[in-house]
Amino acid sequence: MDLSQYLDIFLVEAREHLQNLSQGLLQLEQAPDNRKIVDEIFRSAHTLKGMAATMGFDRIAELTHDMENLLSALKGGHLRVNSAIIDLLFNCVDALEEMVDAVEKGDQRQNDISGLVGRLKQAGEGGTQSSTEPVVVPEPEAAAGMKIVLDNYDQAVLEEAWAQQFRVYHLVVAISPVCLMKAVRAFMVFKSLEDMGEVIKSFPSAQDIEEEKFDASFELIVISKCEQDIIAGAMEKISEVSMVSLTGLEPSITEVAAAKAAEEVVPKPPATDLAEASVEPAPKVDPDQADGPIQIQKARSHQTVRVDLERLDNVMNLVGELVINKTRLAQISSAHGIAELHETLEQVDRITTDLQAVVMKIRMVPVENVFNRFPRMVRDLAREMGKEINLIIEGKETELDRTVIDEIGDPLVHLIRNSVDHGVEDPALRQKAGKPRVASIKLAARQEGNHVVIEVSDDGRGIDLEGVKAKAREKGFYRDREAGTMDDKTLLDFIFQPGFSTAKKVTDLSGRGVGLDVVRTKIESLSGLIELETKPGEGTRFIIRLPLTLAIIQALLISVGSETYAIPLSSVDETTSITPEDIKQVQNQDVVLLRGIVLPLVRLREELEVPDPVQITQDLDVVVVRRGEKQVGLVVDSLIGQQEVVIKSVGRLLTGIPGIAGATILGNGQVSMILDVGTLF
């Protein structure tokens, strides 16, 4: 069988599971006694194993298999979670990531994992040997006919049940062969049992039963306070169901069989996995367990579809075309005065507007996708540097356009590294300064109007302004006579200059003198802004402001001669009207006084070499735009109005023209250029 067509899916899903593993391990580190987290990790490892085995990536399967063994020892409580185990598992995740990367690159060589496998085995054995807990197994005769295999975890649940005076039953339920809807009957069995107690486990899995993947009968393990005959009676009331057997299980004392059963569960033969391919691992029917993650996973597999971004772009293009043609129809309708057509077009108008909004919405992705990798990164960095850091993430559900999400990762990595390295002090230093030993770094996202704000803040030492000043002097960023006039903002701005770094020593993390300038360039290329606030001794805060999407912007349409241009509204401060007499000359530069401020004027007609003859008008329309801290007035012929425009690429041949950010297609089908105020003049 040719599996290459599944490779993409494998890669995407494998990454998802690796992410889950990472996250789970981080949580486990915080709460080592939480069995649910272990279960979650186990499930991811198990699925990954199945997928890898199906695809023939034996090393990945082997490593996950051994991870599973260790994890099941943790699950069974034979082994306590400690930092050595967490580290070992993290190492495994790293190795898996490398292997998955290698798979993506088509690298046939697979990493040597024997070291890790050995360590996993060792760690796992350490646990098994120490396990002397008495384990319990069903009565011999029941076990003989029983298809359900109980693992260590189930055993623990059963023990708990017996301890609390519950009864445990093993049921074999048969459904009449003529029954048309077996799943419905099975559901009624579950429902009725859950009124009386809890279904702990089933064979086949609950999901399979739900999907009618069973023959005539299925088996259940139930905990209940009810007597045997009450349960039997309840079962018999359900039509088309016949009880085959109902056996009470007692906490008898046959450890050997239990140990054997446990062994059988954990390393499930890959053969069954192969058949299931990437199907979720059969979830155990345990109401306690079924609350969160299982349901989420299920919902995900049923309700989402992965779509190539290019296809979405195509849809977007088509919607744009539709809007343009709709406008044309509207023009025809008004030219011919057809009322009926006009009404219909209004309907079409509403639908296309909705359609456009929906397509935009589809492109939005929660920032979670980027934020997810940071807990692990901060943990590792903090360890490496001997610092204690708590990373707080807020607003990870905030949505951003896919294209922005893809680009924002690297700048954030940089800022967070920066905070860990430069911002946060050593624990001892913090204590001396009267701060909590554990530093916190906060990564927060929120939506503000048409923008998303992402903040990276720490409660570290803040930025040493004098240090910045000295460094800037040394690098020749300013002249001595300017020193007196510089405010803090100007000083902080130096940090974003290429070649600036205040770190005294070069560490592995940052301080190589490349950095914040790259971050700023990147953010600005995304039409975003980055600001910085700092208080000595209290911390530093980087504030990134990004447009919700790069595909559609609010723009001010203006005309010069017969040409129409769009100016992104984000760089427009205001518009105003002046008369030619208002224009003054300062050093050969046309300026105008706007509320007492000298505003330099730029004539767009000249800047853009518009060929049409100058129109003599009484009033001049001026668009006041902002570039960084400076304001400039753009003289235009007339203002057309504010409009949402879809940004189109102008192709490789025309990129990099100063002053041109891109193009858009207006309602009349005409292409109009979008001005880039940053490079216009």
Partner 1 sequence: MASAQTLQDELQVVAFTVAGGEFAVNILEVQEINRLPSITRVPRTPSYMEGVINLRGNVIPVVDLHKRLGLPSGENTDKTRVVIVNVHDIKVGMIVDEVLEVLRLSQHNIEPPPSTGGQNPEFLEGVGKMGNRLLMLVNLEQLLGIANSVN
Strands 217-224 and 197-203: antiparallel
Mutual angle of helices 114-130 and 58-76, in 10-degree steps: 20
CB of 322 to partner 1, least distance (A): 9
46 is annotated as an active-site residue = yes
81, 32 contact by CB (below 8 A): yes
The CA distance from 206 to 298, in Å, is 12
451/648 with CB nearer partner 1: 648
648 lines the binding site for partner 1 (CB under 8 A)? yes
669 binds partner 1 (CB under 8 A): yes
Mark the segment that binds partner 1 (CB under 8 A) among 86-94, 182-190, 576-584, 664-672. 664-672
Asked if residue 138 lies in contact with residue 146, where contact means CB atoms within 8 angstroms, the answer is: yes
Catalytic residue among 40, 414, 418, 455: 418
User: Is residue 418 annotated as a catalytic residue, yes or no?
Assistant: yes
Q: What x/- string results for residues 35 through 64 when contact with partner 1 is judged by CB under 8 A?
A: ------------------------------
**Among 5-13, 103-111, 421-429, 651-659, which window interacts with partner 1 (CB under 8 A)?**
651-659
The residue among 174 and 324 lying less far from partner 1, judged by its C-beta, is 324
Contact residue for partner 1 among 12, 31, 230, 318 (CB under 8 A): 318
Question: Which of 105, 361, 479, 652 is the binder for partner 1 (CB under 8 A)?
Answer: 652
Residue type, 453: V
Q: Of 183, 188, 259, 324, which one interacts with partner 1 (CB under 8 A)?
A: 324
- Residue 561, phi-psi category: left (phi > 0), alpha (psi -120 to 50), beta (remainder): left
Number of residues that bind partner 1 (CB under 8 A): 29
269 binds partner 1, rule: CB under 8 A: no
How many whole angstroms separate alpha carbon 214 and alpha carbon 189?
Answer: 14
Nearer to partner 1, 439 or 663 (CB): 663
| Interacting residues of 574 by C-beta distance below 8 A, sequence separation 6+ | 624
Least Å distance between CB 612 and partner 1?
10
CB-neighbour burial class of residue 423 (10 A; exposed 0-12, middle 13-18, buried 19+): buried
First-residue to last-residue Cα distance in the chain: 61
Residues 531-590 that bind partner 1 (CB under 8 A): 563
Distance between CA 407 and CA 418 in Å, rounded?
18
Site string for partner 1, 605-634 (x = CB under 8 A): --xxxxx-----------------------
Whole-angstrom distance, CA of residue 344 vs CA of residue 337? 13
Distance CA 52, CA 277 (A): 9
- CA dist., res. 420 & res. 69, Å (int): 35
Shortest distance, position 611 Cβ to partner 1, whole Å: 8
DSSP structure string for 265-299? HSS--HHHHHHHTTPPPPPP--TTTTSSHHHHHHH
Catalytic residue among 29, 40, 62, 68: 68
643 binds partner 1 per the rule CB under 8 A: no
Between CA 200 and CA 284 the distance in angstroms is 7
Which among 49-57, 84-92, 288-296, 652-660 is the span making contact with partner 1, rule CB under 8 A?
652-660
Q: How far is CA 665 from CA 321, 325, 647, in A?
A: 9, 11, 8
| Contact call for residue 321 and partner 1 (CB under 8 A) | yes
Closest CB to partner 1 among residues 625, 673: 673
Give the footprint of partner 1 on residues 449-468 (CB under 8 A).
Answer: none
Footprint on this chain of partner 1 (rule: CB under 8 A): 317-318, 320-321, 324, 563, 607-611, 648-654, 657-660, 663, 665, 669-673
Cite the active site residues: 46, 68, 418
